[in-house]
Amino acid sequence: MTNPMRAPRVEKVTINVGVGEAGDHLERVMQIIEELTGRKPVKTITYKRIPDFGIRPKSIVGCKLTLRGKQAEEFLQQAFAAVENRLKESIFDETGNFSFGIKEHIDLPKAKYNPALGIIGMDVCVTLERMGYRVKKRKLKRASPGRHHRMTKKDAMEFVKDKFNISIVKPGEE
């Protein structure tokens, strides 16, 4: 029997869309994300000045949304379908998290094209954890999870293969 505390789970899924400027285009993007998830995204604000891109501090450049629990897993099923249930091995980091992009939101199974809103792409960032990771976030007696309890790249890839039926593509097989 395996230890239930070692079973990985999806902590959160973050959806990020960069628009580059505030205004009507950002409002349309926020409306598309709200239709896809049923939740309202928040605007993202810059903190640095990048003159080459015309970005100044405190300007609005996009929006993001964080999903947790069952909602996160349901959205992940759709997002994986949009990338044809294939992920590259290189998108996984050493702590078990991974990110991938969706070129057009209409690739998602539930999405419908609305000519008034247009088409957007988005980044999907997935954070995985094990039970007991609360020790690194709690206020009192904060601690680091043990070495054997931390997520690894291999653990994350096995979890995604088993739970979501995803195929992992190795470099050179694309």
Q: Tell me the average pLDDT across 27-41.
A: 92
Confidence of residue 20 (pLDDT cuts 50, 70, 90): confident
Q: Tell me the average pLDDT across 40-46.
A: 92
Q: Greater confidence, 81 or 51?
A: 81
The answer to whether residue 127 is domain-embedded is: yes
Give the domain extent around 112.
4-169
The answer to whether residue 104 is domain-embedded is: yes
The strand order across the sheet containing 98-102 reads: 42-45, 60-67, 8-18, 122-130, 98-102
Q: Is 122 exposed, middle or buried (0-12, 13-18, 19+ CB in 10 A)?
A: buried
Q: Tell me the average pLDDT across 143-159.
A: 90
Q: Among 88, 67, 64, 57, which Cα is nearest to 11's?
A: 67
Q: Are 8 and 151 in contact (CB under 8 A)?
A: yes
Q: Is the pLDDT of residue 125 over 60?
A: yes
Q: Tell me the average pLDDT across 6-10.
A: 91
The answer to whether residue 11 is domain-embedded is: yes
Q: Is the pLDDT of residue 119 over 80?
A: yes
The answer to whether residue 161 is domain-embedded is: yes
Buried b (16+ CB within 10 A) or exposed e, 51-70: eeeeeeeeeebbbbbbbeee
Q: Is the pLDDT of residue 159 over 90?
A: yes
The answer to whether residue 59 is domain-embedded is: yes
pLDDT at position 174, please?
66
The answer to whether residue 174 is domain-embedded is: no
pLDDT at position 1, please?
45
The answer to whether residue 40 is domain-embedded is: yes
Question: CATH number of the domain that 10 lies in?
Answer: 3.30.1440.10
Q: Tell me the average pLDDT across 82-104.
A: 93
- Helices assigned H by DSSP within the chain: 24-37, 69-82, 153-164
How many distinct structural domains can be found in the chain? 1
Q: Where are the beta strands (DSSP E) in 92-166?
A: 98-102, 122-130
Q: Tell me the average pLDDT across 133-148.
A: 87
Q: Among 99, 72, 71, 74, which Cα is nearest to 156's?
A: 99
The answer to whether residue 77 is domain-embedded is: yes
Please give the model's pTM, rounded to 2 decimal places.
Answer: 0.88
120 half-sphere exposure, CB direction, 13 A CA radius: 27
